[in-house]
Amino acid sequence: MERQRVCVLGSTGSIGVSTLDVIARHQDRYEVFALTAHSQVHKLADQCEQFRPEVVVVGSAAAASELQLLLTEKKLSTEIAYGPAALCAVASASRCDVVMAAIVGAAGLPASLAAAIAGKKVLLANKEALVMSGQLFIDAIEKSGAVLLPIDSEHNAIFQCLPRPYSRRPSAHGIHKIILTASGGPFLHRDIATLDHVTPAEAVAHPNWVMGRKISVDSATMMNKGLEVIEAHWLFATPAEQIEVLIHPQSVIHSMVSYQDGSVLAQLGNPDMRTPIAYGLAYPDRIDSGVVPLDLAKVMQLDFHAPDFSRFPCLSLAYSALKTGRSAPTILNASNEVAVQAFLDGKIGFRMIDRIIARVMDRLPISAVPDMGAILDCDLETRALTNEIISA
Protein backbone atom coordinates (compact mmCIF):
# COMPACT_ATOMS: atom_id res chain seq x y z
CA MET A 1 0.00 0.00 0.00
CA GLU A 2 1.35 3.42 -0.93
CA ARG A 3 1.69 5.72 2.05
CA GLN A 4 -0.65 8.70 2.25
CA ARG A 5 1.05 12.09 2.50
CA VAL A 6 -0.45 14.14 5.29
CA CYS A 7 -0.38 17.89 5.90
CA VAL A 8 -1.11 18.79 9.52
CA LEU A 9 -2.30 22.40 9.78
CA GLY A 10 -1.81 23.46 13.40
CA SER A 11 0.55 20.60 14.29
CA THR A 12 1.64 22.11 17.63
CA GLY A 13 -1.93 22.33 18.98
CA SER A 14 -3.90 19.80 20.94
CA ILE A 15 -5.44 18.16 17.83
CA GLY A 16 -2.17 18.46 15.88
CA VAL A 17 -0.21 16.61 18.57
CA SER A 18 -2.86 13.87 18.83
CA THR A 19 -2.80 13.50 15.04
CA LEU A 20 0.96 13.02 15.03
CA ASP A 21 0.61 10.49 17.84
CA VAL A 22 -1.72 8.38 15.66
CA ILE A 23 0.49 8.82 12.57
CA ALA A 24 3.56 7.68 14.58
CA ARG A 25 1.76 4.38 15.27
CA HIS A 26 1.20 3.76 11.53
CA GLN A 27 4.28 4.80 9.64
CA ASP A 28 3.50 2.05 7.11
CA ARG A 29 0.31 3.94 6.13
CA TYR A 30 1.18 7.64 6.53
CA GLU A 31 4.06 10.00 5.97
CA VAL A 32 4.09 13.65 6.95
CA PHE A 33 4.26 16.00 3.98
CA ALA A 34 3.87 19.32 5.84
CA LEU A 35 3.56 20.67 9.37
CA THR A 36 2.40 24.16 10.31
CA ALA A 37 2.44 26.18 13.52
CA HIS A 38 1.90 29.80 14.36
CA SER A 39 4.69 30.58 16.80
CA GLN A 40 5.80 27.54 18.83
CA VAL A 41 9.02 26.98 16.88
CA HIS A 42 10.77 24.76 19.45
CA LYS A 43 7.92 22.28 19.48
CA LEU A 44 7.75 22.43 15.68
CA ALA A 45 11.49 21.79 15.36
CA ASP A 46 11.14 18.67 17.55
CA GLN A 47 8.23 17.50 15.38
CA CYS A 48 10.40 18.03 12.26
CA GLU A 49 13.11 15.84 13.77
CA GLN A 50 10.66 13.03 14.46
CA PHE A 51 8.44 13.20 11.35
CA ARG A 52 10.76 14.63 8.65
CA PRO A 53 8.20 16.71 6.71
CA GLU A 54 9.14 18.18 3.31
CA VAL A 55 7.80 21.62 4.21
CA VAL A 56 6.98 23.55 7.38
CA VAL A 57 5.00 26.77 7.62
CA VAL A 58 5.08 29.29 10.47
CA GLY A 59 3.27 32.57 11.11
CA SER A 60 5.95 35.20 10.49
CA ALA A 61 9.36 35.92 8.98
CA ALA A 62 10.78 36.20 12.52
CA ALA A 63 9.45 32.76 13.46
CA ALA A 64 10.85 31.38 10.19
CA SER A 65 14.39 32.61 10.95
CA GLU A 66 14.19 31.30 14.49
CA LEU A 67 13.06 27.91 13.17
CA GLN A 68 15.83 27.94 10.55
CA LEU A 69 18.46 28.16 13.32
CA LEU A 70 16.89 25.28 15.24
CA LEU A 71 16.64 23.07 12.14
CA THR A 72 20.23 23.84 11.14
CA GLU A 73 21.34 22.75 14.62
CA LYS A 74 19.47 19.51 14.04
CA LYS A 75 21.05 19.18 10.57
CA LEU A 76 17.65 19.18 8.90
CA SER A 77 17.11 20.78 5.50
CA THR A 78 13.31 21.07 5.69
CA GLU A 79 11.87 23.79 3.44
CA ILE A 80 10.53 26.68 5.55
CA ALA A 81 7.76 29.08 4.51
CA TYR A 82 5.61 31.56 6.39
CA GLY A 83 2.29 33.39 6.24
CA PRO A 84 -1.30 32.65 5.15
CA ALA A 85 -0.51 32.13 1.45
CA ALA A 86 2.04 29.45 2.37
CA LEU A 87 -0.60 27.67 4.49
CA CYS A 88 -2.92 27.56 1.46
CA ALA A 89 -0.07 26.35 -0.73
CA VAL A 90 0.78 23.33 1.46
CA ALA A 91 -2.91 22.49 1.99
CA SER A 92 -3.49 22.33 -1.78
CA ALA A 93 -0.09 21.00 -2.95
CA SER A 94 -0.21 18.16 -5.44
CA ARG A 95 2.25 16.20 -3.24
CA CYS A 96 -0.32 16.15 -0.44
CA ASP A 97 -3.17 13.61 -0.12
CA VAL A 98 -4.70 14.29 3.29
CA VAL A 99 -5.12 17.58 5.17
CA MET A 100 -5.79 17.70 8.91
CA ALA A 101 -7.39 21.13 9.35
CA ALA A 102 -6.57 21.84 13.01
CA ILE A 103 -5.80 25.56 13.13
CA VAL A 104 -8.00 27.25 15.70
CA GLY A 105 -10.53 29.88 14.65
CA ALA A 106 -11.12 31.98 11.55
CA ALA A 107 -7.37 31.95 10.85
CA GLY A 108 -7.87 28.38 9.59
CA LEU A 109 -10.51 29.17 6.99
CA PRO A 110 -8.37 30.03 3.93
CA ALA A 111 -6.18 26.93 4.22
CA SER A 112 -9.07 24.59 5.10
CA LEU A 113 -11.00 25.93 2.09
CA ALA A 114 -7.92 25.62 -0.14
CA ALA A 115 -7.76 21.91 0.76
CA ALA A 116 -11.47 21.55 -0.06
CA ILE A 117 -11.10 23.30 -3.43
CA ALA A 118 -8.06 21.16 -4.28
CA GLY A 119 -10.10 17.98 -3.70
CA LYS A 120 -8.06 16.64 -0.81
CA LYS A 121 -9.22 14.24 1.85
CA VAL A 122 -10.07 16.91 4.42
CA LEU A 123 -10.13 15.96 8.10
CA LEU A 124 -11.99 18.90 9.61
CA ALA A 125 -11.32 19.84 13.23
CA ASN A 126 -11.42 23.60 12.52
CA LYS A 127 -15.19 23.96 13.07
CA GLU A 128 -14.99 27.77 12.96
CA ALA A 129 -14.07 27.55 9.25
CA LEU A 130 -17.29 25.70 8.44
CA VAL A 131 -19.42 27.92 10.71
CA MET A 132 -18.08 31.04 8.98
CA SER A 133 -18.33 29.89 5.42
CA GLY A 134 -21.10 27.21 5.50
CA GLN A 135 -22.51 26.91 2.02
CA LEU A 136 -19.33 28.09 0.32
CA PHE A 137 -17.30 25.36 2.03
CA ILE A 138 -19.80 22.60 1.23
CA ASP A 139 -20.08 23.80 -2.39
CA ALA A 140 -16.28 23.65 -2.69
CA ILE A 141 -16.24 20.08 -1.35
CA GLU A 142 -19.01 18.97 -3.69
CA LYS A 143 -17.51 20.66 -6.73
CA SER A 144 -14.00 19.26 -6.27
CA GLY A 145 -15.09 15.82 -5.08
CA ALA A 146 -13.04 16.22 -1.90
CA VAL A 147 -13.78 13.78 0.92
CA LEU A 148 -14.82 15.67 4.05
CA LEU A 149 -14.46 13.74 7.30
CA PRO A 150 -15.53 15.38 10.55
CA ILE A 151 -13.00 15.16 13.39
CA ASP A 152 -15.03 16.98 16.04
CA SER A 153 -15.94 14.02 18.28
CA GLU A 154 -19.71 14.61 18.08
CA HIS A 155 -19.77 14.89 14.30
CA ASN A 156 -17.42 11.99 13.91
CA ALA A 157 -19.80 9.96 16.11
CA ILE A 158 -22.81 10.99 13.99
CA PHE A 159 -20.92 10.18 10.82
CA GLN A 160 -20.21 6.72 12.26
CA CYS A 161 -23.93 6.27 13.07
CA LEU A 162 -25.14 7.17 9.55
CA PRO A 163 -25.83 4.48 6.93
CA ARG A 164 -23.30 3.57 4.24
CA PRO A 165 -22.85 4.52 1.52
CA TYR A 166 -22.92 7.97 3.07
CA SER A 167 -24.81 10.77 1.32
CA ARG A 168 -25.46 14.32 2.52
CA ARG A 169 -29.20 13.98 1.71
CA PRO A 170 -30.94 13.51 5.09
CA SER A 171 -34.18 12.37 3.44
CA ALA A 172 -32.23 9.40 2.15
CA HIS A 173 -31.43 8.37 5.72
CA GLY A 174 -34.80 8.55 7.50
CA ILE A 175 -33.32 10.69 10.25
CA HIS A 176 -35.66 11.93 12.94
CA LYS A 177 -33.09 13.89 14.93
CA ILE A 178 -29.41 14.40 15.42
CA ILE A 179 -28.58 14.41 19.13
CA LEU A 180 -25.37 16.23 20.01
CA THR A 181 -24.15 15.32 23.47
CA ALA A 182 -22.44 17.94 25.63
CA SER A 183 -20.56 17.56 28.89
CA GLY A 184 -21.84 20.94 30.09
CA GLY A 185 -18.27 22.03 30.84
CA PRO A 186 -16.80 23.12 34.16
CA PHE A 187 -19.71 25.38 35.17
CA LEU A 188 -22.62 22.97 34.70
CA HIS A 189 -23.57 23.13 38.38
CA ARG A 190 -21.95 26.37 39.49
CA ASP A 191 -24.18 29.05 41.03
CA ILE A 192 -25.05 31.36 38.10
CA ALA A 193 -24.63 34.44 40.32
CA THR A 194 -20.91 33.63 40.74
CA LEU A 195 -20.20 33.16 37.02
CA ASP A 196 -19.21 36.80 36.66
CA HIS A 197 -16.14 36.15 38.77
CA VAL A 198 -14.71 32.95 37.29
CA THR A 199 -11.09 33.16 36.15
CA PRO A 200 -9.64 32.05 32.80
CA ALA A 201 -7.87 29.20 34.64
CA GLU A 202 -11.20 27.93 36.01
CA ALA A 203 -12.86 28.28 32.61
CA VAL A 204 -10.23 26.26 30.73
CA ALA A 205 -10.22 23.41 33.28
CA HIS A 206 -12.51 21.05 31.38
CA PRO A 207 -13.77 18.04 33.36
CA ASN A 208 -13.30 15.41 30.58
CA TRP A 209 -11.20 16.74 27.69
CA VAL A 210 -7.76 18.37 27.42
CA MET A 211 -8.00 20.97 24.63
CA GLY A 212 -6.67 24.31 23.41
CA ARG A 213 -7.63 27.41 25.42
CA LYS A 214 -10.16 28.89 22.99
CA ILE A 215 -12.27 25.74 22.64
CA SER A 216 -12.03 25.18 26.41
CA VAL A 217 -13.63 28.58 27.08
CA ASP A 218 -16.18 27.82 24.35
CA SER A 219 -17.04 24.62 26.23
CA ALA A 220 -17.53 26.57 29.46
CA THR A 221 -19.98 29.01 27.76
CA MET A 222 -21.37 26.17 25.62
CA MET A 223 -20.73 28.30 22.54
CA ASN A 224 -18.72 25.24 21.51
CA LYS A 225 -21.95 23.23 21.36
CA GLY A 226 -23.64 26.12 19.55
CA LEU A 227 -20.91 26.16 16.91
CA GLU A 228 -21.31 22.38 16.69
CA VAL A 229 -25.05 22.71 16.02
CA ILE A 230 -24.18 24.94 13.04
CA GLU A 231 -21.40 22.55 12.03
CA ALA A 232 -23.86 19.62 12.11
CA HIS A 233 -26.33 21.59 9.97
CA TRP A 234 -23.75 21.94 7.19
CA LEU A 235 -22.13 18.52 7.48
CA PHE A 236 -25.35 16.54 7.52
CA ALA A 237 -27.73 18.90 5.64
CA THR A 238 -30.07 18.93 8.63
CA PRO A 239 -32.24 21.89 9.73
CA ALA A 240 -31.83 23.47 13.19
CA GLU A 241 -35.17 21.98 14.33
CA GLN A 242 -33.79 18.47 13.89
CA ILE A 243 -30.58 19.08 15.85
CA GLU A 244 -30.91 18.66 19.59
CA VAL A 245 -28.39 19.20 22.38
CA LEU A 246 -28.35 16.80 25.32
CA ILE A 247 -26.23 17.22 28.43
CA HIS A 248 -24.29 14.05 29.19
CA PRO A 249 -21.66 14.82 31.84
CA GLN A 250 -19.59 11.62 31.42
CA SER A 251 -18.69 12.31 27.73
CA VAL A 252 -18.83 8.60 26.93
CA ILE A 253 -21.58 8.77 24.29
CA HIS A 254 -20.11 11.16 21.74
CA SER A 255 -23.44 11.76 19.94
CA MET A 256 -26.45 9.92 18.57
CA VAL A 257 -28.74 9.66 15.56
CA SER A 258 -32.43 9.08 16.19
CA TYR A 259 -34.20 7.46 13.21
CA GLN A 260 -37.83 7.59 12.10
CA ASP A 261 -38.33 3.92 12.96
CA GLY A 262 -37.57 4.59 16.63
CA SER A 263 -33.97 3.35 16.58
CA VAL A 264 -31.30 5.48 18.18
CA LEU A 265 -27.68 4.76 17.24
CA ALA A 266 -24.84 6.05 19.40
CA GLN A 267 -21.05 5.95 19.28
CA LEU A 268 -19.27 5.42 22.59
CA GLY A 269 -15.68 5.56 23.70
CA ASN A 270 -13.29 7.09 26.19
CA PRO A 271 -13.01 10.85 25.66
CA ASP A 272 -9.79 10.99 23.63
CA MET A 273 -9.57 12.78 20.28
CA ARG A 274 -7.27 10.10 18.87
CA THR A 275 -10.36 7.94 18.23
CA PRO A 276 -12.04 10.33 15.75
CA ILE A 277 -8.63 11.25 14.32
CA ALA A 278 -7.77 7.59 13.65
CA TYR A 279 -11.22 7.05 12.15
CA GLY A 280 -10.74 10.04 9.83
CA LEU A 281 -7.24 9.02 8.80
CA ALA A 282 -8.05 5.38 8.03
CA TYR A 283 -11.70 5.66 6.94
CA PRO A 284 -13.30 3.29 6.04
CA ASP A 285 -10.75 1.08 7.86
CA ARG A 286 -10.27 0.97 11.62
CA ILE A 287 -6.78 1.25 13.08
CA ASP A 288 -5.21 1.35 16.55
CA SER A 289 -5.42 4.88 17.94
CA GLY A 290 -3.67 4.32 21.26
CA VAL A 291 -6.93 4.96 23.11
CA VAL A 292 -7.68 2.67 26.05
CA PRO A 293 -10.75 0.49 25.33
CA LEU A 294 -13.93 1.62 27.04
CA ASP A 295 -14.83 -0.32 30.18
CA LEU A 296 -18.51 0.37 30.85
CA ALA A 297 -18.41 -1.56 34.12
CA LYS A 298 -15.96 1.08 35.38
CA VAL A 299 -18.04 3.98 34.02
CA MET A 300 -21.10 2.46 35.75
CA GLN A 301 -23.47 5.30 35.04
CA LEU A 302 -24.47 7.43 32.06
CA ASP A 303 -26.55 10.53 32.85
CA PHE A 304 -28.57 12.77 30.55
CA HIS A 305 -30.62 15.92 30.85
CA ALA A 306 -31.83 18.80 28.70
CA PRO A 307 -29.60 21.92 28.62
CA ASP A 308 -30.59 24.99 30.62
CA PHE A 309 -30.60 27.77 28.02
CA SER A 310 -30.66 30.50 30.68
CA ARG A 311 -27.39 29.21 32.13
CA PHE A 312 -25.86 29.01 28.65
CA PRO A 313 -27.12 31.99 26.57
CA CYS A 314 -24.45 31.28 23.92
CA LEU A 315 -26.36 28.16 22.95
CA SER A 316 -29.47 30.23 22.15
CA LEU A 317 -27.39 32.80 20.30
CA ALA A 318 -25.98 30.05 18.08
CA TYR A 319 -29.38 28.50 17.33
CA SER A 320 -30.75 31.90 16.41
CA ALA A 321 -27.73 32.65 14.17
CA LEU A 322 -28.31 29.35 12.37
CA LYS A 323 -32.01 30.10 11.88
CA THR A 324 -31.26 33.64 10.66
CA GLY A 325 -28.64 32.32 8.26
CA ARG A 326 -26.63 34.36 5.71
CA SER A 327 -23.94 36.36 7.56
CA ALA A 328 -25.31 35.65 11.08
CA PRO A 329 -23.08 32.61 11.81
CA THR A 330 -20.01 34.51 10.54
CA ILE A 331 -20.86 37.38 12.91
CA LEU A 332 -21.49 34.97 15.78
CA ASN A 333 -18.14 33.28 15.25
CA ALA A 334 -16.06 36.44 14.89
CA SER A 335 -17.60 38.23 17.89
CA ASN A 336 -17.13 35.07 19.96
CA GLU A 337 -13.45 34.77 19.02
CA VAL A 338 -12.77 38.38 20.00
CA ALA A 339 -14.78 38.18 23.23
CA VAL A 340 -13.13 34.90 24.29
CA GLN A 341 -9.68 36.36 23.67
CA ALA A 342 -10.62 39.45 25.72
CA PHE A 343 -11.77 37.17 28.55
CA LEU A 344 -8.53 35.15 28.40
CA ASP A 345 -6.57 38.43 28.45
CA GLY A 346 -8.41 39.50 31.61
CA LYS A 347 -10.16 42.43 29.88
CA ILE A 348 -13.76 41.27 30.44
CA GLY A 349 -15.58 38.98 32.85
CA PHE A 350 -16.93 35.58 31.83
CA ARG A 351 -20.58 36.60 31.58
CA MET A 352 -19.63 39.52 29.32
CA ILE A 353 -18.81 37.02 26.57
CA ASP A 354 -22.44 36.23 25.78
CA ARG A 355 -23.61 39.80 26.43
CA ILE A 356 -21.10 41.24 23.99
CA ILE A 357 -21.94 38.70 21.30
CA ALA A 358 -25.65 39.47 21.73
CA ARG A 359 -24.98 43.20 21.40
CA VAL A 360 -22.91 42.72 18.24
CA MET A 361 -25.55 40.42 16.70
CA ASP A 362 -28.17 43.09 17.40
CA ARG A 363 -26.21 45.90 15.89
CA LEU A 364 -24.85 44.43 12.68
CA PRO A 365 -27.15 44.09 9.68
CA ILE A 366 -27.44 40.58 8.24
CA SER A 367 -26.31 40.30 4.63
CA ALA A 368 -25.66 37.65 2.01
CA VAL A 369 -22.12 36.17 2.04
CA PRO A 370 -21.80 34.61 -1.40
CA ASP A 371 -18.02 34.51 -1.61
CA MET A 372 -14.82 34.48 0.41
CA GLY A 373 -14.40 38.26 0.07
CA ALA A 374 -17.82 38.92 1.62
CA ILE A 375 -17.12 36.45 4.45
CA LEU A 376 -13.76 37.98 5.30
CA ASP A 377 -15.22 41.54 5.14
CA CYS A 378 -18.00 40.49 7.52
CA ASP A 379 -15.45 38.84 9.83
CA LEU A 380 -13.31 42.00 9.94
CA GLU A 381 -16.25 44.35 10.42
CA THR A 382 -17.53 42.18 13.28
CA ARG A 383 -14.12 42.09 14.97
CA ALA A 384 -13.86 45.89 14.77
CA LEU A 385 -17.30 46.41 16.33
CA THR A 386 -16.66 43.80 19.04
CA ASN A 387 -13.38 45.44 19.98
CA GLU A 388 -15.10 48.83 20.04
CA ILE A 389 -17.78 47.52 22.42
CA ILE A 390 -15.15 45.87 24.64
CA SER A 391 -13.10 49.06 24.96
CA ALA A 392 -16.15 51.33 25.46
Point out which residues pair with 177 in neighbouring strands: 258
219 binds ligand NAD (CB under 6 A): no
- Of 114 and 230, nearer to Mg ion (C-beta) is 230
Phi and psi at residue 120, in whole multiples of 5°? -75, 170
Per-position x/- string for 1-40, each x denoting binding to ligand NAD as judged by CB under 6 A, each - no binding: ---------xxxxxxx--------------------xx-x
Phi and psi at residue 306, in whole multiples of 5°? -70, 150
Q: Which range of residues in 103-111, 281-289, 316-324, 352-360 is near ligand NAD by CB under 6 A?
A: 103-111
C-alpha span between 318 and 324 (Å, rounded): 10
Q: Which range of residues in 62-70, 120-128, 292-300, 380-388 is near ligand NAD by CB under 6 A?
A: 120-128
- Of 104 and 356, nearer to ligand NAD (C-beta) is 104
Q: Which range of residues in 21-29, 125-133, 279-287, 302-310 is near ligand NAD by CB under 6 A?
A: 125-133
Q: Which of 214, 220, 200, 227 is nearest to 337 (CA)?
A: 214
Cβ atoms 181, 253 nearer than 8 A: yes
The listed partner (ligand NAD, Mg ion, none) that binds 125, CB under 5 to 8 Å by sort, is: ligand NAD
C-alpha span between 9 and 4 (Å, rounded): 16
Minimum Å gap between C-beta 105 and ligand NAD is 6
- Of 173 and 291, nearer to ligand NAD (C-beta) is 291
C-alpha span between 101 and 89 (Å, rounded): 14
Minimum Å gap between C-beta 264 and Mg ion is 19
125 binds ligand NAD (CB under 6 A): yes
List contacts with Mg ion (CB under 5 A): 152-154
Minimum Å gap between C-beta 152 and Mg ion is 4
The listed partner (ligand NAD, Mg ion, none) that binds 37, CB under 5 to 8 Å by sort, is: ligand NAD
Q: Which residue intervals of the chain are DSSP H helices?
A: 14-24, 41-51, 61-73, 84-92, 109-117, 127-144, 153-161, 200-203, 213-221, 223-236, 274-282, 296-299, 313-324, 328-344, 352-363, 372-391
182 binds ligand NAD (CB under 6 A): no
- Of 173 and 251, nearer to ligand NAD (C-beta) is 251
Q: Which range of residues in 123-131, 136-144, 185-193, 355-363 is near ligand NAD by CB under 6 A?
A: 123-131
3-state secondary structure of 307: coil
Position with the least CB separation from ligand NAD: 13
User: Could you say which DSSP state residue 248 is in?
Assistant: -
Minimum Å gap between C-beta 56 and ligand NAD is 11
3-state secondary structure of 144: helix
The single residue among 273, 281, 369, 376 that binds ligand NAD, judged by CB under 6 A, is 273
Cβ atoms 386, 338 nearer than 8 A: yes
Strand pairing class (79-82; 121-124): unpaired
C-alpha span between 361 and 324 (Å, rounded): 11
Contact residues: ligand NAD, CB under 6 A = 10-16, 37-38, 40, 59, 102-104, 107, 125-128, 152, 209, 211-212, 215, 273
